[in-house]
Chain A
Amino acid sequence: MSISAAVLQVTSGDLTTYLYIAFFGLLFVVQFAFGTRLQSYFAINEISRGLNKLRVMKDKARKDAIDYLVNVGKAQADPTQRVDQFLDYVTIMPVDIDPSGLVGKIDHVVTTNNDRVRAEVGSLLNQNNPVTVSISENLLEVATSLNQIHKIVRHFYLLGKKTNSYFTLVQLQMLMPMIIQEADALLNATDSFRMGEPVGDGIGPVVVSRFMAGKEKRVIAKDTVMAITEYKGRKLYVLKADGPMAYVGQPGVAIQKIVSEMGVKPSAIVMIDAALKLEGEKTGEIAEGVGAAIGGIGVEKFQIEEAATKAKVPLYAILVKQSILEAITVMRKEIAEAADKVAEVLNRVIEEKTKEGDEVVVAGIGNTLGVAQ
């Protein structure tokens, strides 16, 4: 090998090494200098796709509500404009810097809102079938929720883009799968509501309706009915929302009335409700516990806890596990078939925790669509 050839070979080997070093060096610099920008770019793309899905979902829910009002509710005029106003209606929660009496204030605001919704729906429809009115209310609430979700996601997306805030965008990107899942559950709920099918959340009312069948019913609170029955020498005060309308009723007010106004001295209050399962838990699994088994904003829970504490009555809970999707869409077989087992558990709890001659309050908590009594 000549000297010049050897020099050329060494130079060629070095050049490849230098190229490698330059390439990885450049990658490092790009990653270091533009890494967050690249990540932001991917996040923006993904959020944008999710946002498009949310837009389609909220438009479909709005259209479903309008179609139901026109086709089933026989709305007199085109309800589109009123529905659009309805979607943007806001409920301003009371100030909480002085928490004393806050629950009462929240109850007042929420009740005012519920009354307004029912009055508005009633004025839109050309009929007063309570099932149709209640379904219309629920459909409008679903459309409002989806509209709100879309607006909030869009707000943070645009804010993140505008301020070039990597952390805002990445947080939103991480939350997107859960947001889409929840929105999807809401959209699926519209199908069940339109058909008047019982939803998974109605398992509590399904169980107590068996105790109420054939008994005289009385309205004990707004949209809430109660019947008195007997089980192995115990007097049962059984209550649920008034079905088959899509109501949840006011079980808190009802229990307060039973305990304080009717002078009943219950030995136990047993509540049956649907509970959100954790991933890995089976749908339809039954869990027992103590405490007020009721969701929502907290007003009903507060009222029940207060009534039970004042009268020193133990609160027992029987829960049927299900996902958020299963809770607000048509009742799955596994949940419906849990009704027999829940009734057995209820009977056992009554037998174990009370004695003959005692009085017991049994409340079936949840949306009672498609479940009469």
Chain B
Amino acid sequence: MMSSVPGADRKSKLLVYTIEECPVCGQKTKRAFTVGDYITKEASKCPKCSNTARVSLVYAESAKQSG
């Protein structure tokens, strides 16, 4: 008889990224998420205009999706 109870975890591995966005020039930078990151947190200097960027998004995508 086939079991209807779901088997072991078959989910694909998720990678979590932090997106930093410069409020002045709109330049976006994607990096790996680190503990303590949160949306609106002040981030590093914008590589384009040297203004302070902010974390605009934190999201996960599958390892396959992120290439």
Contact = CB atoms under 8 A, between A and B. Distances in A.
A361 B60 CA distance: 31
Contacts of A106: none
A336 B4 CA distance: 33
Interface string A157-187: 0000000000000000110110011001000
A371 B35 contact: no
Interface in A17-49: 42, 46, 49
Contact of A372 (B1, B3, B4, B38): B38
B5 A46 contact: yes
Interface stretch (A1-9, A77-85, A93-101, A327-335): A327-335
B39 interface: yes
A198 interface: yes
Contacts, number: 79
B38 A243 contact: yes
A180 B40 contact: no
B40 A373 contact: yes
Nearest to A198: B58
A198 B1 CA distance: 41
Given A197-B16, A330-B14, A370-B58, A206 B39 contact: yes
Interface in B32-61: 33, 35-41, 54, 57-61
A174 B33 CA distance: 40
Interface in A314-369: 330-333, 335-337, 339
B6 interface: yes
Given A198-B39, A370-B38, A373-B40, A49 B3 contact: yes
A195 interface: yes
B58 A197 contact: yes
Interface in B16-38: 16, 33, 35-38
A303 interface: no
A337 B65 CA distance: 14
A370 B57 contact: no
A332 B61 contact: yes
A244 B38 contact: yes
A196 interface: yes
A180 B58 CA distance: 28
Contacts of A372: 38-41
Given A184-B9, A213-B40, 4 more contacts: A49-B3, A196-B36, A370-B39, A372-B38
Q: Which 8 A-B pairs have the closest CB atoms?
A: A336-B59, A244-B38, A333-B61, A372-B40, A330-B60, A50-B5, A371-B39, A370-B38
28 contacts: A42-B1, A176-B4, A176-B5, A177-B4, A180-B5, A184-B6, A184-B9, A195-B33, A196-B35, A196-B37, A196-B38, A197-B16, A197-B58, A206-B39, A244-B39, A244-B41, A330-B16, A331-B58, A332-B59, A332-B61, A333-B60, A333-B61, A339-B57, A370-B39, A371-B38, A371-B40, A372-B38, A372-B40
